[in-house]
Every structure is written in structure tokens, then in C-alpha cells.
Amino acid sequence: MGEETIALNRRARHEFSIEETFEAGLALTGTEIKSVRAHKVSLAEAYARVEHDEAWLIGATIAPWEYGNRSNHDPKRPRKLLLHRTEIDELLGRTKAKGLTLVPLRLYITGRGHAKVELGLARGKQLHDRRRDIAERDARREVEREMADAQRGR
């Protein structure tokens, strides 16, 4: 059994140019992992940060588990990312020196049942970069349409 994607951050690829990706584990409580497996997750406003030599996922929303009791979790709480010390030091150095941002791209469950986050080391796009991407995508679609019409004999 392979991995199952739970949540995608579509805005991340639109607003940032991703330079490199990393994989990190996610420290979750019991009710949180149950909500994740039920696909009750949003990464739309999420970002990652290194503070006090630890990596944290901030702003991700994991809805409270509907069958939880008084020990249910806070939906917006910061969650610890599980990375090796060398990875944390590398990420800290690159975000400080080059002005890059850590952005969660997707959250998924591995075949072994572990929650993981794919992080992107990203640089913010300017407005003209976004417009260029949109123009390239439109041109690519137009070429594909023309090729399809040519194959159909139109």
C-alpha cells in the first residue's frame, strides 16, 4: 500500500517558486491523527518556522475529531516537525541567509500509517512572475488544443 495524499497547498505553488523540497514527520495527538485520516485538514494558511532549534508547522488547521471528548485538540495549534538536527540546521541557515521561506506543500499518510509533510524551500514570486506563469500555461494549453484538432483532422 502506497502513500495517500490528505491535503494539498495549491496556493503555495502559485505564490512561491519552490527551489527544493524536504520531507518531515509530524508529531500529532490521538484525536489529530484520526482527523487527518478523515481528511479534515487545511494547509491554506500554513507555514513552517525554525524556533529554538526545533521546526514547527504553524497555521495548519486540523478540525477537531467529531467523536472526541474534552481532551480534543486545538485546531490551529503549532505542531512539531520531526527532522534530523542536520536538516534543521541547514534549513535555518538557508532561510536566514537567502531570504527563503518554508512552505508546506502537501500532507500525506505513508504506507506504514505515519503522517508526513512535504516542505518546500521557497522564494516569493513577484506579480510579473505570476503573470508570466499564467501566460506560459495559457500558451501551452493553446498548443495542446491545436495539436488535438490537427490529430482529429479539423
C-alpha cell at 29: 495527538
- Find, among 45, 23, 21, 25, the residue nearest to 33 by Cα: 25
Is 0.75 surpassed by the pTM of this model?
A: no
Q: Is the pLDDT of residue 127 over 70?
A: no
C-alpha cell at 138: 495559457
CA 60/CA 47 separation, integer angstroms? 8
pLDDT tens digits, residue range 89-101? 888 888 887 778 8
How many other CB atoms are found less than 10 A from the CB of residue 39? Answer: 13
Domain boundaries, the chain: 4-125
Query: Could you please report the per-residue DSSP string of 65-114?
Result: PTT--TTPPPTT--EEEE--HHHHHHHHHHHHHH--EEEEEEEEE-TTS-
First vs last C-alpha separation in the chain: 44
Q: Is the pLDDT of residue 1 over 70?
A: no
C-alpha cell at 39: 481528511
CA 57/CA 45 separation, integer angstroms? 11
Is the domain defined by 4-125 classed in CATH 3.40.50.11540? Answer: no
Higher local confidence (pLDDT), 60 or 127: 60
pLDDT tens digits, residue range 37-90? 888 888 888 888 888 889 999 988 888 887 777 777 778 889 999 999 998 888
